[in-house]
Amino acid sequence: MSILEVIKIDVASQSVYMIQISATDTLQAYYEHIGCSTVSHFSFDAYHGCYVDDEGLFNQHAGYWSLPGFIQAIAGNGIVSGVDEEGNTASAEPEFLDWLQSCIQFYGADEAAPEPDIQIVSF
């Protein structure tokens, strides 16, 4: 079985660390590690993207997290993976873990939860 090394953003422990998941069933692994049944994705850069609970602001979570430049905090855990030249899921780079650990901000569940917000951006 092929294994990927991805980054888990863990709101309960307020930490960011590498985990291993199966490369053959990544979506199910995301559901399990995030603690949800639907996911949304956003890109950090050309190589790394993050999966989060699609209904995060509507569900109970252990906390929230944010990074510089984010408009609002993300509810619940996140999984960061990479992508290869063909667009397939790949392991995250260790240097990206270092960057996340240096700038992530955690908020407890008892802190003010952000309200769901929809912003329309024209192109």
pLDDT at res. 62: 81
| Distance, CA of 70 to CA of 22 (rounded, Å) | 30
Each residue's pLDDT tens digit, 94-123: 999 999 999 999 998 877 555 556 667 776
pLDDT at res. 114: 55
State both tokens at 116: 């769901």
How does DSSP classify residue 84?
-
| Distance, CA of 53 to CA of 74 (rounded, Å) | 9
Each residue's pLDDT tens digit, 35-53: 999 999 999 999 999 999 9
Query: Beta-carbon neighbour count of residue 111 at 10 Å?
Result: 11
